[in-house]
Amino acid sequence: MGAPKYNVAIETSARQGSVTLARGDDLRGSAILPQPHRHSVELTTALAALLAEHGAGPTDLAEVYVSIGPGSFTGLRIAVATAKMLSQALGVRIAAVPTLDVLAQNVPPNADRHLAVCLNRKANSVYAGIYGVRDDQWTASDEPSLMTMAELLTVAPRPLMILGDPLPALPDSVQHVTVLPADLATPRSEAVWKLGRRLASHGQWTDALTLTPLYARVPEAVTLWDKRHGAPAR
């Protein structure tokens, strides 16, 4: 049997993007996209450079793991388009990884606590998922959804850790709740890779034709387009 082929993880849901390369289960390296908010320019260049650094090229890729959101409208579109291109041109298989799960990987599992991961803040609402520890890893307790912070604090079990940046203000009276440092709320391609490998091991692939970014709300760019062109509200 020959050596395993390469796989790559892409994270562009946030301001600073990154990519991670591995060969089978052997992690080879990661690269930060040089300029924030320039994923459309930097992603393919960074990926090509990372492959070349390890003596490989695009045809050596067998799998791509992509963070699908919620997050940056443009960043997610670029990542999904890149994954689709690799799949359709080279037959690369795709594993789609929710960004909430990616962020949860930044927090060490704690069986005595629960974790709420919050993204896409707008006004007083967030897209939130609640996690508990199962088999020594954070596992979603239910489907994530848009909710106010008051609603989150009502439904989430205690003791609770909350991760997000930025977060709406918490009431002074709230108890048994810890707000985690904001620097933990940056998604990393290494975490996308870890979760992608887990999906791959269970054969949980996503077809390139059905792969789409996960948006918590209608993207602002779409809303502005609708307003300018008189389209009905979504």
For the chain, the domains span 6-99+186-228, 107-184
Mean pLDDT for the chain overall: 92
Cross-strand bridge partners of residue 234: none
Pull the structure tokens for residue 52. 């070349």
Tens digits of residue pLDDT in 182-209: 999 999 999 999 999 999 999 999 999 9
Q: What CATH class does 107-184 carry?
A: alpha beta
Q: How does residue 49 score in pLDDT terms, banded at 50, 70 and 90?
A: very high
Q: What is the pLDDT of residue 204?
A: 98
Please choose, from the candidates 108, 131, 129, 132, the residue with its C-alpha nearest in 3D space to the C-alpha of residue 120: 129
pLDDT at 1 over 80: no
Q: What is the DSSP letter of 110?
A: -
- State how far the Cα of 43 lies from the Cα of 78, in Å rounded to an integer: 8
According to CATH, the superfamily of the domain at 6-99+186-228 is ATPase, nucleotide binding domain (3.30.420.40)
* Residue 211 three-state SS: coil
Host H or E run for residue 216: none
Q: Position 120: which residue type?
A: N
Query: What is this structure's pTM?
Result: 0.91
Q: What is the pLDDT of residue 228?
A: 66
Q: What is the DSSP letter of 168?
A: P
- State how far the Cα of 40 lies from the Cα of 203, in Å rounded to an integer: 29
Q: What is the pLDDT of residue 122?
A: 87
pLDDT at 16 over 80: yes
Tens digits of residue pLDDT in 146-186: 999 999 999 999 999 999 988 988 888 899 999 999 999 99
* Residue 130 three-state SS: strand
pLDDT > 90 fraction of the chain, expressed in percent and rounded:
79
Tens digits of residue pLDDT in 62-113: 999 999 999 999 999 999 999 999 999 999 999 999 999 999 999 999 999 9
More confident residue, 120 or 102: 102
The answer to whether 45 and 51 have CB atoms below 8 angstroms apart is no
Mean pLDDT confidence for 122-141: 94
Give how far Cα 185 sits from Cα of 119, 164, 210, Å. 9, 5, 28
Q: What is the pLDDT of residue 191?
A: 98
pLDDT at 230 over 70: no
